[in-house]
Amino acid sequence: MPLPPEFLEIAEKVRNWGRWGDEDELGTLNLITPEVVKKAAACVVEGKRFSLAIPLSATGPQRGNIPGKFNPIRTMVTVHMPLSRDPDHARSSDDVVFMSLQGATHWDALAHVSYSGHIYNGFPAESVDAAGAHRCGIDKVGSVVSRGVLLDVARSKGVDRLEGGYAITPEDLDAAEAHGGVAVEPGDVVLIRTGHLQYLHEGKTRAYADPVPGVGMGCALWFREHDIAAVASDTVLLEVWPPQNPDLLIPVHMLDLVDIGLTQGQNFDLEALAADCTRDGRYSFLMEASPEPFERGLGSPVNPVAVK
């Protein structure tokens, strides 16, 4: 089945292929310039710090409905192992973990999704094979340090949590921007709060998994027009689920990762940060969210930290 004309029209408008050169593998992260980082650092007023990661645990959000994604499995390999013959000398304990790189709070690599035979910047889909991503892998990212901006879509609409399946529009993003009294600028990392992660706090993983509020396809235009460096949300998918068009399952992933080259993240816990932004009225902050450099990885867990 051919891709819908409305999707192809947006893809043509937002495509960044070649913008930073034919060999570019960073996409919109190129927009994080030294000037952007210096401006981000100026957002630190009180030194308050907020971790935006959910726990890496067996009780995480994965329920087996997405192939290959599961909650972390951690096990001990040594417990008080003696390092010498003297029982009073040092002993060590160690553990190992087996996990999906996109099972908890994470960034997607640009190579995570392909369509029509290509990944970002026109590289062939065959750039990803059984050995991983030979182009646009998460190891190419390095650091993600920029100004973060919280768009609290839920509170801007007068609710604490959006209904599952609600499709966020560009107008909703504008309204959330106005609600926070902040202007999104090139190089910003935008965090979109729906309130949906409250279900995880309540232990309701089924309700968290489906249906999901999230950005609709038109928001890709908003992301491109504002030249943001990265986007993340407090849901398992970022985009709305079930999809607006049942014949086009993850159009925002396709547009963000393949066409714009926009790094995107999921399962960011924005509750404490949003409560603080509501209290002090400051919706921008220094954001540090660098991925682990898994060679040829298609994503990476991350412990994002917002500093105010």
DSSP 258-301: III--EEEE----HHHHHHHHHH---EEEEE-PPP--TT-SEEE
- Each residue of 109-153: pLDDT tens digit? 999 999 999 999 999 999 999 999 999 999 999 999 999 999 999
Q: Is pLDDT of 241 > 90? A: yes
Residue 72 within a domain: no
The number of helix segments (H) and strand segments (E) in the chain equals: 9, 15
Residue 106 within a domain: yes
- Name the burial class of residue 86, with classes exposed (0-12), middle (13-18) and buried (19+) by CB atoms within 10 angstroms of its CB: exposed
Residue 19 within a domain: yes
pLDDT for residue 223: 98
Residue 84 within a domain: no
Q: Give percent of the chain with pLDDT exceeding 90.
A: 95
Note whether 239 and 21 are within 8 A (CB). no
The answer for 70, left when phi > 0, alpha when psi is -120 to 50, beta otherwise, is beta
Name, in order, each residue with C-beta under 8 angstroms of 284's C-beta and a sequence gap of 6 or more: 43, 147, 148, 149, 150, 182, 188
pLDDT for residue 122: 98
**Position 232, amino acid:** A
pLDDT for residue 132: 97
Split into its structural domains, the chain has a count of 1
- Residue 151 lies in domain: 5-56+102-307
For β-strands 189-193 and 230-233, DSSP reports them as: parallel
Q: Is pLDDT of 228 > 80? A: yes
pTM: 0.96
Average pLDDT score, the chain: 96
Q: Is pLDDT of 65 > 80? A: no
- 258 pLDDT band, cuts 50/70/90, is very high
Tell me the residue ranges of DSSP E strands in 16-157.
49-51, 73-82, 91-98, 106-108, 128-129, 132-133, 145-152
- 165 pLDDT band, cuts 50/70/90, is very high
**Location of structure tokens 């066409």:** 259
pLDDT for residue 67: 81
pLDDT for residue 136: 98
Sign, Cα dihedral of 156, 230, 254, 260: positive
Residue 68 within a domain: no
pLDDT for residue 162: 98
DSSP letter for 203, please: T
Residue 96 within a domain: no
pLDDT for residue 297: 97
DSSP letter for 254, please: I
Residue 61 within a domain: no
- Average pLDDT, integer, range 269-292: 98
Q: Is the peptide bond before 82 cis (omega within 30 degrees of 0)?
A: no
Note whether 154 and 193 are within 8 A (CB). yes
- Average pLDDT, integer, range 3-22: 97
Residue 301 within a domain: yes
- Average pLDDT, integer, range 83-112: 95
- Structure tokens belonging to residue 223: 């992301």
- CATH number, residue 125: 3.50.30.50
